[in-house]
Each structure stands twice: as C-alpha cells, then as structure tokens.
A and B are shown apart, each in its own frame.
Chain A
Amino acid sequence: MHRTRPFDHLILIIGAALLVLPVVVAFMTSTYTAAQIHTGGLQILPGGNFTETYSKVLTQKGGFTGQITGARMLMNSMILGIGFALGKIVLSMMAAYAIVYFRFRFATIMFWVIFTTLLLPLEVRIMPSYGVMSQLGLLNSYTGLIVPLLASATGTFYFRQFFKSIPDELLEAARIDGAGPFKFLIDVIVPLSKTMIAAIFIIMFVYGWNQYLWPMLMTTDESFFTLMRGIKSILQVWIGSQIPDYNEAFALAVLAIIPPVAVVVIFQRWFIKGLTESDK
C-alpha cells in the first residue's frame, strides 16, 4: 500500500481549491448588489444581499413579458433534464433490447446505422429537426423541446453492451419459467440494469440540463425558457445606462449548478453500490 504523505495532500488540496474557487467566487459575488459588483468587481467574501438576490431571482417576474420567474425557469429546466434523461433511457433500452434479444433481418446493420448517428451531432441536423417540429406545431411545447433529442446512439450502445454481458442462460431459464419477452424485460432485464440506468441517467440529465442551442430555437414563448437562457437574458439588458444584474446572473448560475450536482451525488451512490454488489 502506498502511504499518503503530506505533500500528496497538498497537491490534492491545491487542485480541489483551484476547481472550487470559481464556484465560490460566483456564489459570494451573487450576495452583493449589482452596483457593488460593478464598482468592486468579483468578490470572495460574503456580502449582505443574499436573501434579497435569491428571493428576487426565484420569485420576481421578469423577462420582456414580465411573466417569468426564476422558479419557473428552474422547473422548465427540470422538466427538460428529467424528461430528456428518462426518455432517452426508455427509448435506448428498448432499442438495445430489440437488437440483442430479437432475431430480425438486418439487425446488425440497424445497430451500426444507429451507431453512426453518433457522428452527427445535434447541430448538423438542427435545421431539419426544427422544420419538422414547426410543421408538427410543436414549437413552444415541452414535447417539442424533449422528443427530438431522445434518440440516443450512446444510450443504445451502452445498453447493448450491457445486455450482451447478461448470460444467455438467464434468458433460457426465464423462457422455461414461462416469461415472455415483455415479462423478461420488466422482471429480469430492468432490475439487472439498475446500475446502468443510474449511470446513463447521470450523463443524460446533465446533458439535457445544459442544453442551450436547441431550447433557444424551439421556444420563443418565455414561459418555456430554461435556466440557461435565463442567465443569458439577464445579461442582455445592458441598454443605455442600466447596469446588468450581475448578482442575479451569478445567483441563477449557482442555482443551475445545484440539480446536476444533486443528481450526480444521489445516483453515484447507487451506481457504486451496484458495482460493488454485482454478482461475480
């Protein structure tokens, strides 16, 4: 065993401090008023404006229409993040289940077709996707926000690899036990995939939460704005002599960090538990 020496700790501490510092600065700065920030710059010590800033950000109606609050944007982001992650998991699990457990013509080709879409990022197909959604009349709706992003080659690929590692005998035992394809999926595959689902949920939730381009295209109605757009729109009010509400932007940014961090912390525990408990 390697003995940990003080020097090692020093490096770790410096590294951790370096990574945490921007977040601390953002949080501390958000507790000042906009004017103080404008004159004093970034802050490392707590200011006295915490409650005011955060309650204003969360509850005050703002935006061009004056209809949208920070809480609403938080909810929108949540709906997008969770809907996106769950949708991707359900869809890619079913796709992988079909590819691995059903014999149909061109299954391998199908898989590779799905897999090559990994090479095409959202930006490449963003115009046609927008066109389709607009013709379906799904602009400014949660469906329009979430559905076009659901098809996931990454998720399908991970689940396929995982399903392939499940011994065939389990399927055979289930067949003899009288479980049909649907029962086998629900009773055996899904519980066994728990760790995999947790891992993919982490990745996909963060990915969905951080979406910026697609929500910006899809939504013009402010009641569908996500946090990411909200932060941006606060900084866009720099007209005339008005000072941008830096403190609010920082506060929103801090709020925007919390859910992904929470998701990672919660699911990581399950994830590790699953890894250590797994059979052989």
Chain B
Amino acid sequence: MASIAIENVVKTYAGGNTAVHGVSIDIKDGEFIVLVGPSGCGKSTLLRMVAGLESISGGDVRIGDRKVNDLDPADRDIAMVFQNYALYPHMTVRENLAYGLKNRKTPKAEIEARVAEAARMLEIGQYLDRKPRALSGGQRQRVAMGRAIVRKPAAFLFDEPLSNLDAKLRVTMRAEIRKLQKRLGTTSIYVTHDQLEAMTLADRLVVLNAGRIEQIGAPLEIYHKPASTFVASFIGSPAMNLVDARVEGGMLWFGGVSVPLAGAQGPVTLGLRAEDLRLAAPGEAAVQLRIEHVEELGAQRLVHGMVEDQSLTIALSPDIPLTDTLPIALPRERLHLFDAVSGKRIETRVPAFA
C-alpha cells in the first residue's frame, strides 16, 4: 500500500521522439486511477515507466516515499497485469502464481497459503494444476490477476487487461476488478482506451492526448465539465456533438436560435451531449434537425441529422414518432462552450432570468 507520485515525467525515445511530455499525477494511497486516451497517446508508456519496463527520460516516479527511477521492476514493489496475460505457458497455474514469490525466496508454507488465498478470492481453485492453455480467456485473466495479488504489492498496474476478452466477459471482469481493488485497497493504475471501462472503474480519470494530460478528475466531473473539445469528444457515448456557434452581445447563436449566455464573445465551439438534447415543446425556440439516419439501440434510438450544415446526434426515446425534421430544444443548463481555436473550455454562466 502506498501513494504514487509521478512528477514531470518525460519519455523521449532514442530517435528523438517524445512520447510523454512532462506528466504529473499524484495518486493517493488506495486510489484507482485510470489512464485513458486514444492509441499513441502515451498512456502505456507512462504505465511502463512506473513499472520500470521503460527508462524514465526526465522527472521522477515515487512509490511510497521511495524514488524508483533507477530501480529494477522487481524491486519497485509493484505487480502488473498484461493485455495478453503473459502467463508462463509451461507452468501450471499454481506455479505461475508462485513464481514471483519463489524468486523472492518466500518460505514454502507462506507461498502455499498465499496461492490458496488468491485462488479462493478469484475462484480458480479447481484449475490450480492445469496449464494456462487449458483455460479460457477469462480464467487466464483471473490467473494473471492472481499472480499480481499473491505478491501483495504496493501497487497494481493494469495494461489494457480486458481487451482480449469478449464484450460480455469484459463487463463481468470489470466489476470483479473493481470489487477486488476495493477489497484489497491496493493503489492501482489502469490503462485503457475504452472510455466506458475508464468511467466505470476509476476513482479518478486521467485523460491523455499526444503525451500530455488533458484533464484529471472524477469520472462524473469529467463527463459534466470536460476541459477541452478532446475530452468532450472522447468521454461519453455517443460522442458529444461539437458544433460551431457564435456568442454576440450576451446571446449564443446556433441554428437560428439564441440563448442568453455570459462569459464569452465571438465564434465558439458549442458542445451538446446527445442525451441532453430533447424535443422542443410546441412554441418553444428550437433548431430544426433534418434526420439522415437512425440507429436503434433498443432502450433508446440515436438520431443522426443536420442542423443547417452541421451534423448533430440526439438520443431519443423509441416512443417518439419520427418525422423528416425534428424541433430540438437547446438544454440551457447543459451547454458546453469551448474556445474555437484552442479547444479549451470556456466557463460560462446562464443568466438567471430569461
């Protein structure tokens, strides 16, 4: 159990490519941190630097109160779960679990006790004498987690552990990882490109883009207040609608409709979540959405269409009858404004009146 401090960490490869630009994250003891971002954003590199599998080009990584920059992975008191499980194929499950402990010269009785405990926790007791190839993907992933648990490390590092599983199993394993982490209270860093996984698992999310942190925060905080257009489009499904709009004289103009708004001026990017948009009541000011195609999801339907020349997606209840054009009301409390050039969030106020 320990906190992890990542201070201005930089990764520059031999060719001069910089994958991670001065990232700092303070991870509290027992916290579940998820690093999320598109492929190539440096999230795996960052994790591997914490693990000691990549050298650190600049900055410090501290686990507990130890600076671990130059320590071997084995001496950092961490355990890692890999995407392809990385179980030793020639060893039985039991040997796989025990290998790390054996290398640390843990007494035999202690190894047995810990393996038994992990096996009970993960319900893999009946597979202990099988080889990994005789196990299904989900079972292998449990063994991989077991290998991390038996070590009782200061931190768990997960590198996209669920990517190789099918969708259904992913949901169950997700819940199990979460439960397990809460129960053990071990500080965890989890890397994924799946925003849903990130939202459901994290105590705090770190959204990375091109080697830089876009935003750090609790999942809901990020969902409700994305710091940039990048975060806005990455977190949430379907992706947030980002459309061009103008603010003039305290009024936001979009699609021929205006909403009173303070705190911005000139052209802006307006962010609208599909699930925040609703049909306008008769007589209410509304933008006209020309429907182009509809995705039926069962519980809701996603209607894709155009407002003037900008595309917009809206989530509607399947009960609402569809016509060629729908009047859509803008949710005045749920407008996200971003700078049209930098894409950074603009804090706005909706005037109380009007």
List residues of chain A with CB under 8 Å of any chain B CB.
167, 169-170, 172-179, 183, 187-188, 191-192, 194, 277-280
Contact = CB atoms under 8 A, between A and B. Distances in A.
Contacts of B86: 167, 169-170, 172-173
B99 interface: yes
Contact of B88 (A176, A188, A277, A278): A188
Contact of A175 (B72, B83, B89, B133): B72
Contact of B100 (A167, A172, A177, A188): A177
B84 interface: yes
Contacts of B82: 169, 172-173
Given A175-B74, A176-B80, A178-B74, A279 B103 contact: no
Interface of B: 51-53, 72-74, 78-80, 82-90, 99-100, 103-104, 132-133, 147
A169 B104 CA distance: 20
A179 B53 CA distance: 14
B84 A279 contact: no
Contacts of B52: 175-176
A130 B85 CA distance: 52
B53, B89, B147 interface centre (most CB from chain A within 10 Å):
B89
B89 A279 contact: yes
Given A176-B78, A178-B74, A191-B90, A169 B84 contact: yes
Contact of B133 (A169, A192, A279): A279
A176 B89 contact: no
A175 B104 contact: no
Given A167-B84, A277-B133, A176 B99 contact: no
- Chain A contact surface mostly: helix
A194 to B, nearest CB: 8
A244 B354 CA distance: 121
B86 to A, nearest CB: 4
Contacts of A170: 86, 88
A172 B52 CA distance: 9
A165 to B, nearest CB: 12
B161 to A, nearest CB: 12
B99 A177 contact: yes
B53 A175 contact: yes
A178 B151 CA distance: 11
Contacts of A188: 88, 90
Contacts of A187: 88, 99
Contact of B73 (A167, A176, A191, A280): A176
Given A169-B82, A192-B90, 14 more contacts: A167-B84, A172-B73, A174-B99, A176-B51, A176-B53, A176-B79, A177-B74, A177-B99, A179-B99, A188-B88, A191-B90, A192-B89, A277-B133, A280-B133
A179 B88 CA distance: 13
A60 B207 CA distance: 84
Contacts of A176: 51-53, 73-74, 78-80, 100
B88 A172 contact: no
A179 B72 contact: no
A175 B73 contact: yes
Contacts of A277: 133
5 contacts: A170-B88, A172-B80, A172-B86, A176-B51, A177-B74
A202 to B, nearest CB: 21
Given A192-B89, A279-B89, A173 B80 contact: yes
A169 B132 CA distance: 15
A177 B72 CA distance: 11
